[in-house]
Structure 1
Amino acid sequence: MIEETKGYTLSVDTYKKAKALKMKDPRYYIYASLRGSGMSVRDSWAIAFQGEGIGVWEKSFLENEMNKLEAQESVQKRIAEVQGKKVKNENADELTQEELIKATSKEEILRNLVIAQRKQKFGSPEWQKTTAMIADYSKIKQDEIDTENNVVHYYIPLSMPRCCEDCIIFKNGQATFQKKKK
């Protein structure tokens, strides 16, 4: 089933997606999709609204309308969806497992410490504390790398011997219970 929207022939699926994002007009969905793919605000407006207001409306009014549309939460959600990002909700108190892992990774902590150190005055007590923390985290990271290099791997033969006589140790006369040949 196909429906008509001011110059566009859109599928019902597009209308449903726009409605799911709580958009007032399916053209907002078109606009947000174009913005998410990397188009400029002006070009996305010109395509989605077929030039409506361009050259007719006062420039400041047109810019204001574009900014209003760009600021809408539903539009931002769609842009993030197209770009493959998750919209960050500052009010949310919950963390996803991925966010938690990223925030607590040694690399992320070290990166945040280095950024904090850059903002502090060189030689100040805060700078010295931050530098000490960076050294500690660097040591932890180095210890982790060293531990990985000390792992012992045991290799088990593909075909296991069924009895003592099949064992290579027994065949070589090195089994502890075997009588030594003289």
Structure 2
Amino acid sequence: MIEETKGYTLSVDTYKKAKALKMKDPRYYIYASLRGSGMSVRDSWAIAFQGEGIGVWEKSFLENEMNKLEAKESVQKRIAEVQGKKAKNENADELTQEELIKATSKEEILRNLVIAQRKQKFGSPEWQKTTAMIADYSKIKQDEIDTENNVVHYYIPLSMPRCCEDCIIFKNGQATFQKKKK
């Protein structure tokens, strides 16, 4: 299904994305997408709003409107999304708990090592070191899997013995208080 917004024929998906970012107008989404791709503020405005206000509004008023739109949080989120960055946390020195867990997981480290190995020349000293590191991490991961599979199961008898003589341990002569037979 396709809807129309002041000169644009946009898909419902675009409307949903704009709404998910809490944008009042889908043209904000178009503007932010253009800005994220590297276009200037003025060119993005001209395309998204089809030249609205350019040459008609007073220059200072138009600049003020462009700056207001540029400052909106939803627009900044979309620009960061298009550029492949995280909004606000782009230059942050701190990590969230989730980011730390992901970065230090064995799978993530192994993936990064394999990517690094692909970029290195086959047989070079760096390639050999990276291959050794991959082997080490694979071994660590395999050891972890083996440890998880060594589960000990304890079974409790369905009917509990009523006295020492009914107990299997006593019957087998393994009770600690029992005299050992020679």
Q: Normalising by the residue count of structure 2, what TM-score does the alignment of the two structures yield?
A: 0.52
Is 1:28 the counterpart of 2:25? The answer is: no
Determine the C-alpha separation between the residues in 2 that align with 1:136 and 1:181: 52
Deviation (angstroms), 1:47: 0.2
The Cα shift of 1:95 comes to: 3.1
Distance 1:92 1:6 in 2: 39
CA distance in 2, matches of 1:172, 1:79: 76
Distance 1:156 1:66 in 2: 74
Mean Cα deviation higher: 112-121 or 45-54: 112-121
Instruction: Mark the CA change 1:19 to 1:102 in structure 2 (over 3 Å): closer, same or farther.
Output: closer
Structure 1 segments (4+ residues) deviating >2 Å = 89-182
Q: Deviations over 1:6-49 (max 9, x none)?
A: 00000000000000000000000000000000000000000000
Q: State percent identity of aligned pairs.
A: 99
The CA distance in 2 between the partners of 1:113 and 1:82, in whole Å, is 27
Which range moves more in the overlay, 143-152 or 169-178?
169-178
Which ranges in structure 2 are unaligned for 5 or more consecutive residues?
A: none
Q: Per-residue deviation at 1:96?
A: 2.8
1:162 match: 162
**What is the alpha-carbon distance in structure 1 between the residues aligned to residue 68 and residue 119 of structure 2?**
34
Taking the aligned partners of 2:54 and 2:82, their CA distance within structure 1 comes to: 26
* 2: CA distance, partners of 1:127 / 1:119: 9
What's the secondary structure of 1:51's corresponding residue? coil
Structure 1 gap ranges (5+): none
C-alpha change, 1:96 and 1:55, in structure 2 (3 Å) is: same
Going from structure 1 to structure 2, the CA distance change for 1:180 and 1:138 (only over 3 Å counts) comes to closer
Superposed CA deviations along residues 89-113 of structure 1, whole A, max 9, x for unmatched, are 6999983358659999999999999
1:53 alignment partner, SS class = coil
Matched residues in 2 for 1:33 and 1:178: separation? Answer: 83
Moved more, 151-160 or 41-50: 151-160
Query: Structure 1 residues 29, 160: closer, same or farther in 2, change over 3 A?
Result: farther
Residues 7, 133 of structure 1: alpha-carbon distance in 2 compared, 3 angstrom cutoff: closer
Count of paired positions: 182
Shift of 1:120: 39
CA root-mean-square deviation: 9.3
TM-score by length of 1: 0.52
* 148 and 12 in structure 1: CA distance in 2 versus 1, 3 angstrom threshold: closer
Distance 1:105 1:13 in 2: 35
Per mean C-alpha deviation after superposition, the further-off stretch among 119-128 and 90-99 is: 119-128
